[in-house]
Chains A and B, each alone.
Chain A
Amino acid sequence: MSLINLSRRSVLKAGAAGLAAAALPMGLARAQTPIVLGAVYVGPRDDFGWNQAHATAMEILKTVPGVTVIEEENVPETDAVSQSIESMINLDGANLILATSFGYYSPFVVELAKKYPDVQFRHAAPLWTDADPTNAGSYFCYLNQGHYVDGVAAGLSSPTGKLGFVAAKPIPSVLSNINSFLLGAKKTNPNATVQVIFTGEWSMPVREAEATNALIDAGCDVITCHVDGPKVVVETAEGRGVKTCGHNASQAPLAPNGFITGAEYKWSTIYAMYADLLAKGEPLPNFVAGGYHNDMLQNTPYGAGATPEAITAADAAIAALKAGEPIYVGPLKDNAGNVVIEGAMDNYDPVLDGMNYLLEGVVGSIT
């Protein structure tokens, strides 16, 4: 490690504590074999959404003996993430880096993995390929399965069958959540429709509130969303007496009257598996993807908005997903009338990762 490699943060710390002290933790890390896990988040850890889902799982890891967790939040998807990760490695002796935002991967994580071959890097999106460094990797949960369960429950909790979806951007994972929500709802109410409003931004609270109000004014009586922090959507809908389904983390406390259930990540399954393998000195898998069948998802405990029939149907849907029942069963048309899925698709079929359409029954457009 040369001084040039020191990132800004380590230089600042070194200035305060002396250069010798700055170099010390690294020596310690090499001498012992504890796991120092460095987690990087793109937003605040308590956003009621994506980052909170990761941070909650990280809390569980902190209780594992021999695991030290260091975290940094609000790290932009720029060179800043390289600097944060480098100072975690050089200064805190991190030997496992969890980069939890989509845009961290290329080029930042890939380049760092080449530069630090002794450190393991794992990134939370299905982006790793065989061509990438072997000390890097991907992990991902297919949250659309959770939205499917939401849809099943919403179909039986909505008197009108008009469901609303506040979505950020029309990328495949968002579209898959919308489509799965629709298919779930159609399972219990064949006439159900999903009206979608795209806000165009991952986090834009005022526009999310406006979109929620617009959906309710259009007659939707269950609202769900795919935005970074669903707090505003759920609170606005609750304030207008409309039911809600959650996304990413538990929003149940925000909607005591209208919450049905929510699609939640269970990153702790993956993180605990990583910690276990590291403690045994075994290599980490390069690619982990999962859903209900391998305990990487959960649905928020049912709230007051869920009817008894909805709870029964949703529980059955979860059991079916665990048994591998497919969500996308063709022939399915998109909302322009083209057949997009011919037969039954496996829930982890890579073709679904490239989804670029809204199914028939979704009111909205991706452009």
Chain B
Amino acid sequence: MMDSAFITVLIAMLGGAIRVSTPFMFVALGECLTEKSGRINLGLEGNLVLGAMVAYAISFHTGNPWIGVLAAGGSGLILGALHGYICKLPKVNDIAVGIAIMSFGTGVAFFFGKPYIQPSAPRLDAIHLGDWTGNSALAQALQVNPLFFVGIILAVAMSWAFANTRWGLIVRMTGDSAASARAMGVSVDWVRFLATAAGGFLAGVGGAFLSLYYPGSWNQGLSSGQGLMAVALVIFARWDPIRCIWAALLFGAAGAIGPSLQSVGISQGYYFFNAAPYILTLFIMIASARSKGAAREVPGELSITK
């Protein structure tokens, strides 16, 4: 009995990691790119919510959810570009602008999203990877959305590009030392503008996953702060795209602990178990951020470290 309950929880955590992690992944990768260039965009929660709304609306009108995903990315790109542009102006604080963008993005999404709460839009399909197992819970857990794989490929590509390409070098350089970048003839503002816009695009795509796949509907409480958590995950992942993936997976798996423990009959203390993702993050953060390595990995130009 105990064994099967344990396996049920493990399968639920696996499923949770796959189902819940994708939006965290995209927002964290977007933020990672932006922060690598030396700027913080706290507004990605706004991108996420707006992306969710736009994806749902466009999918509803066109009947093709993938066009919705692209449109969500586009809306995120615009918000990111807005942040990037405003932060180019003199004496502007990027954190304050980020909070403004967050309110703006969610506000716009709520305003235009009203008519789309009721209708049902076509959703993204999953790839059924687990049907051969003959175990319905496992088959369910292994239903994977293609965006999940896109996120992982993107993380690997980003990680490689940061290390091995001229573009990656320029982004890292503007993030670590704006003076050096200027000396090299690189336009710091322009690099940061592009990095913020691209990061915004990714966060918008993350929103599309929320409204078009899991949980798969548009309403105003959809995100409940996931965009903000994902921004925090970047610090947790120490500005490494691959570690962003692990952080997102861990966070998704931990989120499944609360409901699945109740489903196997361990129902005492569910408030505590529901808080598992946050507690876990806190502990790993304390453990990892104390190292000297952590201090070296912070982009030097970030306004929180300057």
CA of A231 to CA of B211, assembled, Å: 12
CB-CB contacts of B73-89 with A at 8 A, as 1s and 0s? Answer: 00000000000000000
* Residues B268 and A210 in contact, CB atoms below 8 Å apart: no
* Residues B262 and A232 in contact, CB atoms below 8 Å apart: no
CA of A208 to CA of B214, assembled, Å: 11
Q: How far is the CB of B250 from chain A (nearest CB, A)?
A: 15
Task: Report if B12 contacts A (CB, 8 A).
Answer: yes
* Residues B263 and A205 in contact, CB atoms below 8 Å apart: no
CB-CB under 8 A from A365, the residues of chain B are: 267-268, 270
CA of A198 to CA of B217, assembled, Å: 21
> Looking across the interface, which residue of chain A has its beta carbon closest to that of B12?
A214
A contacts with B: majority SS = mixed
CB-CB contacts of B207-219 with A at 8 A, as 1s and 0s? Answer: 0001000111101
Task: Report if B15 contacts A (CB, 8 A).
Answer: yes
Chain A positions 223-242 with a Cβ under 8 Å from a chain B Cβ: 228-229, 231-232, 235-236, 239-240
Most interface-central of B120, B216, B219, B224 (chain A CB within 10 A): B219
CA of A46 to CA of B115, assembled, Å: 9
* Residues A254 and B12 in contact, CB atoms below 8 Å apart: no
- Our count of residue pairs bridging A and B at CB distance below 8 angstroms stands at 126
CB-CB under 8 A from A63, the residues of chain B are: none
Q: Count residues of chain B with CB under 8 A from any CB of chain A.
A: 41
CA of A367 to CA of B255, assembled, Å: 19
Q: How far is the CB of B6 from chain A (nearest CB, A)?
A: 14
Chain A positions 191-228 with a Cβ under 8 Å from a chain B Cβ: 195-201, 203-211, 213-218, 228
CB-CB under 8 A from A195, the residues of chain B are: 263
CA of A253 to CA of B119, assembled, Å: 9
Task: Report if A47 contacts B (CB, 8 A).
Answer: yes
Q: How far is the CB of B87 from chain A (nearest CB, A)?
A: 30
CB-CB under 8 A from A27, the residues of chain B are: none
Task: Report if A133 contacts B (CB, 8 A).
Answer: no
Most interface-central of B114, B260, B263, B268 (chain A CB within 10 A): B263
Task: A204-B221, A363-B267 are known; give 20 further A-B pairs, CB within 8 A.
Answer: A46-B114, A47-B220, A74-B110, A196-B267, A197-B259, A198-B262, A205-B222, A205-B224, A207-B255, A210-B19, A210-B20, A210-B260, A214-B260, A216-B140, A217-B8, A217-B140, A217-B263, A218-B8, A235-B120, A365-B267
